[in-house]
């Protein structure tokens, strides 16, 4: 599997970007061959970030082209500059189920982030 990370310049409102992406871009991505997952968030540095996971490098290249074209056509006013793009083969893949994640959240105090490495 391949991962594509896009980091955009700060500035656009997170709620508005999320609405546009959820309503418009996600359906486009889900229809692409090799689509596995898509995540978007605003980093603590206030920069929108997206993470796409696809089956192959060719799927990653196609997804990146579609994202670039969609953003230019639909969100140029919110995200005028092209993102920094990092792409590579996934080396480790791990996830929890919804039930495991819910169990971990119950009663868990807010914790301060400590950078532990990778």
Which domain range does residue 63 map to? 2-105
pLDDT at residue 117 in the model: 46
In a domain, 112, yes or no: no
In a domain, 65, yes or no: yes
In a domain, 118, yes or no: no
Work out the burial of residue 24: count CB atoms within 10 Å of its CB; fewer than 13 is exposed, 13-18 middle, 19 or more buried: middle
pLDDT at residue 23 in the model: 92
pLDDT at residue 64 in the model: 87
In a domain, 67, yes or no: yes
Q: What is the CATH number of the domain that holds 36?
A: 3.30.70.100
The count of domains in the chain is 1
Q: What pLDDT tens digit does each residue of the chain (118 aa) get?
A: 999 999 988 776 777 888 888 999 999 999 999 999 999 888 888 888 899 999 999 999 998 899 889 988 998 888 888 889 999 999 998 887 777 666 665 555 555 655 554 4
Cite the DSSP H helix spans in the chain. 14-20, 26-30, 57-74, 98-105
């Amino acid at each position: 599997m391949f991962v594509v990370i896009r980091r955009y310049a700060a500035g656009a409102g997170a709620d508005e970007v999320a609405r546009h992406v959820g309503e418009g871009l996600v359906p486009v991505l889900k229809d692409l061959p090799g689509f596995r997952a898509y995540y978007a968030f605003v980093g603590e540095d206030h920069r929108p970030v997206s993470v796409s996971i696809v089956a192959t490098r060719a799927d990653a290249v196609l997804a990146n082209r579609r994202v670039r074209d969609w953003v230019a056509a639909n969100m140029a006013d919110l995200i005028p500059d092209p993102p920094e793009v990092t792409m590579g083969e996934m080396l480790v893949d791990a996830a929890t189920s919804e039930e495991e994640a819910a169990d971990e959240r119950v009663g868990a105090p807010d914790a301060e982030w400590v950078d532990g490495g990778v």
